[in-house]
A and B are shown apart, each in its own frame.
Chain A
Amino acid sequence: MIDIIIFIILLVLGYGFGRLLETSHYRSILRREQAFRGILLIATRTPPPDLIPRKIQLVAGNVVISVDYFKRFLASLRNIFGGRVQSYESLLDRARREAILRMKAEARALGADMVFNIKLETASIYKGHKNTIGAVEVLAYGTACVPHNREA
């Protein structure tokens, strides 16, 4: 009995706080994405030959985000029926966008306006029990190009 009560409390807490944190995180992601629009992200491996930047440097951004109790429960249900696990999709989406934003912030601090050869790497670094995903880390990195006409 006590187990069930604890389970329900955790579920409610996870749902409430998880939802709150996710909406506020998405709001801040959207706001910052707007602010960093000026920095171009280009996934090609080499910049065009006629582009000679003043300086290039590696920039990176990383974030570790944990999934909440409620979503993990939903995902374990999904494991029975199969199909899209939307609760994890939003987790990874948030993590990727956040990592990219942090990389962009680093690029802006250098005065760069383009980042080439973007690589995204995802690792699940923390396992909950029974090997469920606890938290994912996303690392975004690339090479920032600082143009000639701007100061670092």
Chain B
Amino acid sequence: MLISNLEIVPGRQVLKHLGLVQGSTVRAKHVGRDIMAGLKNIFGGELVGYTELLNESREESLGRMLEQARAVGANAVLNVRFTTSSVAQGAAELFAYGTAVILDDEA
């Protein structure tokens, strides 16, 4: 499965558009990480725990999007976008969406 945030794939043609596919996940951080973040709020610097958490969640939302794409029979997802929004105190929603397409075979 090819994923890209370009609108076209250079050298290959889109045979069929299959519409929008999307995946989202809402994650909350656990207490241990929160305590560390509280400390880091005094000293500054990178919150490694959060970086990893958001990275994992983004992978998961991407995975869910791919699942949908596979279900409609696509072999590529183009024009992928990510958005993050905090829906509640301490929880964030990671959302990935894109256009599922069928590309011609690789030359």
Interfacial residues, chain A to chain B (CB-CB below 8 A): 10, 13-14, 17-18, 21-22, 25, 45-47, 49, 51-53, 56-58, 60, 62-69, 71-72, 98, 116-117, 119, 121, 123-128, 134-135, 137, 139, 141-143, 145
Asked whether B3 lies within 8 Å of A71 as measured between CB atoms, the reply is: no
A125 to B4, CA, bound (A): 26
Q: Which of B44-58 contact A (CB under 8 A)?
A: 44-47, 50-51, 54-55, 58
Kindly state whether residue B42 has any CB partner on chain A within 8 Å: yes
Asked whether B54 lies within 8 Å of A126 as measured between CB atoms, the reply is: no
Asked whether B84 lies within 8 Å of A123 as measured between CB atoms, the reply is: yes
Asked whether B6 lies within 8 Å of A47 as measured between CB atoms, the reply is: yes
Asked whether B85 lies within 8 Å of A135 as measured between CB atoms, the reply is: no
Asked whether A68 lies within 8 Å of B42 as measured between CB atoms, the reply is: yes
- Please judge, given known A-B contacts A46-B6, A58-B5, A135-B47, whether A66 and B41 are in contact too, CB under 8 Å: yes
A83 to B44, CA, bound (A): 23
A125 to B6, CA, bound (A): 27
Asked whether A66 lies within 8 Å of B5 as measured between CB atoms, the reply is: no
- Which of B10, B45, B86 is A53 in contact with, Cβ under 8 Å? B10
Contacts of B37 in A (CB 8 A): 66, 126, 134-135
Can you pick out 12 interface pairs between chain A and chain B where the beta carbons lie within 8 Å of each other?
Answer: A25-B46, A45-B7, A62-B51, A62-B58, A64-B51, A66-B47, A68-B43, A72-B41, A119-B5, A127-B89, A137-B84, A142-B5
- Please judge, given known A-B contacts A66-B40, A126-B50, whether A21 and B45 are in contact too, CB under 8 Å: yes
A60 to B46, CA, bound (A): 17
Asked whether B46 lies within 8 Å of A56 as measured between CB atoms, the reply is: no
Q: Which of B20-77 contact A (CB under 8 A)?
A: 37, 40-47, 50-51, 54-55, 58
Asked whether A10 lies within 8 Å of B42 as measured between CB atoms, the reply is: yes
A139 to B5, CA, bound (A): 14
A128 to B46, CA, bound (A): 16
Asked whether B82 lies within 8 Å of A139 as measured between CB atoms, the reply is: yes
Minimum CB–CB distance for B67 against chain A, Å: 16
Kindly state whether residue B2 has any CB partner on chain A within 8 Å: yes
Kindly state whether residue B18 has any CB partner on chain A within 8 Å: no
Contacts of A13 in B (CB 8 A): 42-43
Asked whether A119 lies within 8 Å of B81 as measured between CB atoms, the reply is: yes
Asked whether A53 lies within 8 Å of B4 as measured between CB atoms, the reply is: no
- Please judge, given known A-B contacts A21-B45, A116-B6, A127-B89, whether A121 and B50 are in contact too, CB under 8 Å: no
